[in-house]
Amino acid sequence: MSDRRPIGVFDSGIGGLTVLSALCCHLPEERFVYLGDTARLPYGTKSGETVTRYALRAAQFLAGEEIKMLVIACNTASAAALPALERELPVPVIGVVEPGARAAVARSSGAIGLIGTESTVASGAYQRAIQVVGGTSIVRARACPLFVPLAEEGWFDHPVTQAVASIYLGEFCGTVDTLILGCTHYPLLKSAIARAVGGGIVLVDSAVAVAEEVAARLRTDGTAGEGGGGRVRLLVTDAPARIARIAALILGDDTPPLQLVDLPL
């Protein structure tokens, strides 16, 4: 039997659209409701306690939309709040850190680097996840806090982004073979990041690995939503007109209208 309930997906802003995009490609018959918590962005410079509080509000809001599964399309929230969200929600919860760690270990022959928000890097979540999936340790990790506002501005491949990437990432050249893009905003800046680290370093993000994990879980649980066609709803907690412009750069012509919603603090 087909389960037509939507899958909830959330991030602090537009970054999670990189995950949503992979989910839509991989699972074209599923319905999705995406929440960008733009009123509270960025999450990545805040404490783990604050991020957990924000993530719980976002997840509870989506639970009210009758979702069948929650995807935390945010590394910062996955690193800080996955156990809390698993405890609170009555549906399966999938984070992005473990799938990202698995993808990196599969691609690397040993020397893995990590870039992410300050909160994700400080949490040590990737280090732990890499050990769980049997990899060696991360040899170098760096927070890149300016990347999120650059992505939110739509400056995906802009000279300023290139300059910032070169300053942040020079230290990875020649020291790692694989670099984890440990923030869902970063794949939007992939061209600038790739140029800054030079050839020979594989850039890994978790979007496709997450989509595969969601597909596998839907199969195991018997909750796949075949038939009836896919559909996406986009919700934000602030500035829908501004975000719509950037969302269209990521999702293209099929970008649905953005709806403003309010989350209690």
57 touches ligand DGL (CB under 6 A) = no
Among 17, 62, 70, 76, binds ligand DGL (CB under 6 A): 76
Of 66, 30, 43, 63, nearest to 218 by C-alpha is 30
CA distances from 107 to 2, 86, 112, 115, 224 (A): 35, 29, 9, 16, 29
Mark residues 185-214: x for contact with ligand DGL by CB under 6 A, - for none.
Answer: x-----------------------------
Q: Is 74 annotated in the active site?
A: yes
CB atoms within 10 A of CB 134: 9
Q: What x-and-dash track marks residues 140-169 binding ligand DGL by CB under 6 A? A: --------x---------------------
Q: Which is nearer to ligand DGL, 19 or 67 (CB)?
A: 19
92 binds ligand DGL (CB under 6 A): no
Residue with tokens 């949490």: 123
Contact stretch for ligand DGL (CB under 6 A) within 11-19, 54-62, 168-176, 221-229: 11-19
The CA–CA distances, whole Å, from 199 to 85, 157, 166, 188, 191 equal: 39, 17, 14, 18, 12
Site string for ligand DGL, 103-142 (x = CB under 6 A): --------------x--x----------------------
237 lies in the binding site for ligand DGL (CB under 6 A) = no
Residue 12 in the binding site for ligand DGL (CB under 6 A): yes
Kindly tell me which of 16 and 92 has the beta carbon lying closer to ligand DGL: 16
Number of neighbours of residue 50 by Cβ within 10 angstroms: 14
- C-alpha span between 15 and 19 (Å, rounded): 8
Confirm whether 144 is a catalytic residue. Answer: no
First to last CA, the chain: 38
DSSP code string of 185-243: TGGGGHHHHHHHH-TT-EEE-SHHHHHHHHHHHHHHHT----SS--EEEEEESS-HHHH
- Contacting residues toward ligand DGL, per CB under 6 A: 11-13, 15, 41-44, 74-76, 117, 120, 148, 183-185
Residue positions annotated with a catalytic role: 74, 183
